[in-house]
Amino acid sequence: MGKYVIAGNWKMNKTPAETTALIEEIKPLVKDATCDVIVGVPFVDLAAALEAVKGSKIGVAAQNCHWEKSGAYTGEISAEMLKAMGVGYVILGHSERRTYFGDTDVTVQKRVRAALDAGLTVILCVGEYLEQREQGITGEVVAMQTKIALGGVSKEELSRIIIAYEPVWAIGTGRTATAEQANEVCALIRKTITGLYSCQTAKKVTIQYGGSMNAANAAELLAQSDVDGGLIGGASLKAPDFATIVAAAK
């Protein structure tokens, strides 16, 4: 389906010096990767990451951005600022942003707009809570998150959107979705995109799975027909594990 993309989401981990060290460790291990490889680092580590990835094909992502270009928004970072420093990607709508920092489908849509306007590629996260899965409304929840976030996104712009399906109950819990569960929802996201755009367009979109993906379970998840990559938290902080996942994406 879409091009394989393996992205690490470092969350709130690593200092600039530690960022340099970890990327230096990852670089030789992923030099023969056939998929795209991205590291998503804290804002203060972006400069170190951009410097460290030089001479490799590793992309650098921020973990959020504000929707305004500039202004009185203490503590915020704009998409323009990220683009200006050479960042290529931004993770948006992560469940931790939604759960702990008040992000909603509407603010995620605004951030997506700003990121695309600035020329960034977006890793858009969607996923259901355990209660929603138990109620049997996973499909509705994920389709709605996807539709709202993509509101106003053109077919051309969609080539700069990667979608990450991250069931909230699988994040940081060690409880991975089964390969069937992951594939079922990734396929549903693709169907939602087909409805919004076309089958042709939907086939080209990279849809990742995220949630306790690790060196041991990555190959099975990545072998699914609609899973085109992974967004990896904990395991992305260990270079050999991350490299194993990258090698499994083919």
Angle at 62 between CA 191 and CA 246, to 5 degrees: 65
Selecting among 80, 94, 96, 128, the annotated active-site residue is 94
| Residues facing 91 on adjacent strands | 123
The nearer residue to ligand 13P, 67 or 169, going by C-beta atoms, is: 169
**Residue 7 to residue 5: CA distance in whole angstroms:** 6
Selecting among 80, 96, 128, 166, the annotated active-site residue is 166
Q: Is residue 93 a contact point for ligand 13P (CB under 6 A)?
A: no
**Residue 155 to residue 9: CA distance in whole angstroms:** 27
Within 100-159, the residues that bind ligand 13P by CB under 6 A are: none
The least distance separating ligand 13P from the CB of residue 11, rounded to whole angstroms, comes to 7
**Residue 124 to residue 91: CA distance in whole angstroms:** 6
Q: Is residue 94 a contact point for ligand 13P (CB under 6 A)?
A: yes
Within 44-63, the residues that bind ligand 13P by CB under 6 A are: none
Query: Are the beta carbons of 116 and 157 closer than 8 angstroms?
Result: yes
Q: Is residue 65 a contact point for ligand 13P (CB under 6 A)?
A: no
| Residues facing 92 on adjacent strands | 124
Q: Is residue 227 a contact point for ligand 13P (CB under 6 A)?
A: no
CA-wise closest residue to 27 among 11, 39, 13:
39
Is there a catalytic annotation at residue 94? Answer: yes
For strands 229-232 and 5-9, give the pairing.
parallel
Within 165-184, the residues that bind ligand 13P by CB under 6 A are: 166, 171-172
The nearer residue to ligand 13P, 38 or 235, going by C-beta atoms, is: 235
Is there a catalytic annotation at residue 166? Answer: yes
Classified as helix, coil or strand, 244 is helix
Cβ-proximal residue to ligand 13P, closest one? 233
Q: Which residues are catalytic?
A: 94, 166
Would you tell me which residues interact with ligand 13P (CB under 6 A)? 9, 94, 166, 171-172, 210-213, 231-235
